[in-house]
Amino acid sequence: MIDDNNLFVFVGKPGVGKSTLIKNIFPNDFVVDVLPFVLAYGNGNSSAVPEEKTILGYQDMYEKMRETYLKDKGQIILELGTSHTGYNLQELNKINDDYRVTIFLCVAPNEVCKERALKRSRDMDVVKLEARLERDFPDSYLNILENLKIDYYLIDTALNLEENILKIKQYVK
């Protein structure tokens, strides 16, 4: 049985499979996705939001979480991209005081992520996608997480989906 007040965070590059894992493991749970908050600063396309403005979407998301979602207590699932590593971990570390935060760093080869992302959205800006895929992830997270008291796990989403689901389920008990 999963305890109350858990925040399970799935972080990864576009197309890595965060949403697929979440839908298969937590089909009925409340999910907060940073993407709609980021899209509010563009024309509905994440490629149209300048990187320097994406932080505003992340800030809005954490504010909404503090004002609403975290007050209700219980279990929350959070889906994040790879932008603003330091800011995300600072905010998650604060939340870790009241919630048990567990981070799943979802990784796969860039070619796999690119193929999946393009299948999902044909109108994606390929140049911007490739730039996002070149980010230093998961190392940017690992370097900071080593100094925090937050549980985290690497999940290779290029592997079998069913095996990854079983692996994650053992961590969320």
The pLDDT confidence band at residue 131, using thresholds 50, 70 and 90, is: confident
How is the chain split into domains, by residue range? 6-34+75-171
Look up residue 112 and give its two tokens.
């796999």
Give mean pLDDT, residues 116-136.
Answer: 85
- Residue 111: pLDDT over 80: yes
- Relative orientation angle of helices 110-120 and 126-133, to the nearest 10 degrees: 140
HSE-up (13 A, CA, CB side) for residue 57: 23
Which pTM was predicted? Answer: 0.92
The pLDDT, as a whole number, for residue 122 is 66
What average pLDDT does this structure show over 62-90? 91
Position 3 pLDDT exceeds 70: no
Q: What is the pLDDT of residues 17-63, one digit of tens each?
A: 999 999 999 998 889 999 999 988 886 666 668 878 899 999 999 99
Topology classification of domain 6-34+75-171: Rossmann fold (3.40.50)
Most confident by average pLDDT, 65-74, 123-132, 145-154: 145-154
